[in-house]
């Protein structure tokens, strides 16, 4: 029985069609390389099962091959999908993640920044429970920082966010496609940027069809009970509506429950679209809720890739938007 020899750096270079030096730079994050070249080398390494000696790479490159992930999302509702996407991306480059829970406490957040800096992390990912812009941390550290889901207030930082406005357009286009023309909007709190971005996209879709909302938009809290209250408010207004776009699945579920209690059939009388594609809400509802998926795993993947590139000296400052996806269920068809 013969043992298959472990693949070497030269094998990776050969499969990727690059020199050994270029393969080394791609795997260690050194030097300025084209993005497609770096990705080709990483793909070749994964295909061959090449496992570099991380300790040796650290001595050569001066890097720790670890990144910190700071989150203030205690429940993990948004940070866990982001983290999973980031982990998948970083694992390709032999990078490890140190997870830090700031618990929405600026003091704890600064503690973790000091801790991660002391551990010589190569970069930091930051995410949060809220999608609103957050204070920048970039002046507090000497390594690249990328913000995922919760963008930085500084436009020259690197931020990756779901495209809320595009998600709103998806919701509007879908309701129009299923024949609804008298449409209402129930957003989250008016203080949240996402509430207005989703409304903007929704209205853009309606305007393209020569329509507007049949009644003034409502802004409520994100909970189910707020959805029930919104349904009662819409019914009391007396404006006819045959479709509603809700800015969260929780709002949508409460609204559907209240409409059903009032004898309004969903989707026969009123079609409803939610936002988040949170299966705990969408699948437990009767009928199941058509929803907009923010693709948070993709947000994490893109954020990790941009962080890796920034560590290699190829930063792409600005806000990067990840497109949302429509998931059709029984609340609209």
Q: For residue 223, count CB atoms less than 10 angstroms from its CB and return exposed for 0-12, middle for 13-18, buried for 19 or more.
A: middle
8 A C-beta contact, residue 282 and residue 68: no
Q: Which two structure tokens, joined as six digits, stand for 282?
A: 């969408």
Q: Which of 13, 62, 74 lies closest to 42, judged by CA?
A: 13
DSSP assignment of 83-127 equals HHHHHHHHHHTT-EEEEEE-TT-HHHHHHHHHHHHHTT-SEEEEE
**Dihedral (CA of 88, 42, 146, 166) sign:** negative
- In angstroms, the CA 172 to CA 214 distance is 13
- What pLDDT is attached to residue 7? 84
- What pLDDT is attached to residue 259? 98
Three-class secondary structure of residue 187 per DSSP: strand
Distances (CA, A) of 72 to 59, 131, 205, 299: 33, 12, 34, 17
pLDDT along the chain (333 residues), means of 10: 70 90 74 79 84 52 79 80 88 78 89 92 91 92 95 96 98 98 98 97 98 97 97 95 98 98 97 96 96 97 93 92 98 97
- In angstroms, the CA 260 to CA 10 distance is 66
DSSP assignment of 70-81 equals EE--TT-TTHHH
Inter-residue long-range contacts of 257-265, CB under 8 Å, 24+ positions, other chains counted: 257/224, 257/227, 257/228, 257/231, 257/285, 258/227, 258/228, 258/229, 258/231, 258/232, 259/231, 259/235, 260/286, 262/231, 262/232, 262/235, 264/235
Q: Which two structure tokens, joined as six digits, stand for 30?
A: 């050194």
8 A C-beta contact, residue 131 and residue 313: no
- In angstroms, the CA 288 to CA 162 distance is 23
- In angstroms, the CA 254 to CA 224 distance is 4
Distances (CA, A) of 190 to 163, 186, 222, 226: 18, 10, 11, 13
- In angstroms, the CA 257 to CA 280 distance is 15
- In angstroms, the CA 173 to CA 167 distance is 10
Condensed to tens digits (0 to 9), the pLDDT of residues 268-320 reads 999 999 999 999 999 999 999 999 999 999 999 999 999 999 998 889 999 99
Tell me the helices (H) and strands (E) count for the chain, helix number first. Answer: 12, 12
Q: Which two structure tokens, joined as six digits, stand for 145?
A: 């920082």
Condensed to tens digits (0 to 9), the pLDDT of residues 151-177 reads 999 999 999 999 999 999 999 999 999
- What pLDDT is attached to residue 144? 96
- What pLDDT is attached to residue 56? 47
Place of tokens 């999908």: 81
């Amino acid at each position: 029985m013969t043992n298959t020899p472990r693949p070497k750096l030269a094998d990776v270079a050969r499969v990727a069609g690059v020199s050994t030096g270029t393969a080394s730079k791609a795997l260690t994050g050194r030097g300025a390389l084209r993005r497609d070249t770096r990705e080709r080398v990483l793909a070749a390494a994964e295909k061959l099962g090449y496992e570099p000696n991380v300790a040796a790479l650290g001595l050569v490159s001066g890097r720790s091959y670890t990144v910190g992930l700071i989150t203030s999302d205690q429940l993990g509702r948004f940070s866990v999908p982001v983290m999973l996407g980031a982990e998948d991306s970083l694992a390709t480059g032999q990078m490890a993640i140190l997870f830090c829970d700031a618990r929405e406490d600026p003091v704890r957040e600064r503690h973790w920044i000091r801790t991660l800096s002391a551990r010589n992390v190569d970069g930091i990912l930051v995410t949060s429970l809220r999608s609103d812009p957050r204070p920048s941390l970039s002046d507090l550290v000497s390594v690249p920082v990328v913000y995922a889901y919760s963008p930085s207030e500084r436009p020259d930082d690197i931020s990756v966010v779901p495209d809320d406005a595009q998600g709103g357009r998806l919701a509007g286009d879908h309701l129009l496609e299923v024949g609804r023309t008298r449409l209402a909007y129930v957003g989250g709190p008016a203080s949240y940027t996402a509430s207005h971005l989703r409304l903007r996209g929704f209205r853009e879709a309606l305007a393209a069809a020569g329509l507007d909302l049949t009644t003034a938009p409502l802004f409520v809290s994100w909970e189910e009970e707020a959805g029930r209250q919104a349904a009662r408010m819409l019914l009391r207004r007396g404006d006819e509506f045959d479709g509603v776009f809700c800015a969260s699945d929780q709002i949508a579920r409460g609204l559907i429950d209240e409409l059903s209690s009032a004898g309004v059939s969903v989707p026969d009388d009123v079609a409803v679209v939610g936002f988040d594609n949170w299966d705990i809400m969408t699948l437990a509802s009767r009928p199941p809720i058509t929803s907009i998926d923010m693709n948070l795993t993709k947000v994490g993947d893109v954020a990790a890739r941009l962080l890796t590139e920034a560590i290699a000296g190829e930063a792409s400052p600005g806000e990067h938007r990840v497109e949302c996806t429509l998931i059709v269920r029984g609340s609209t068809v």
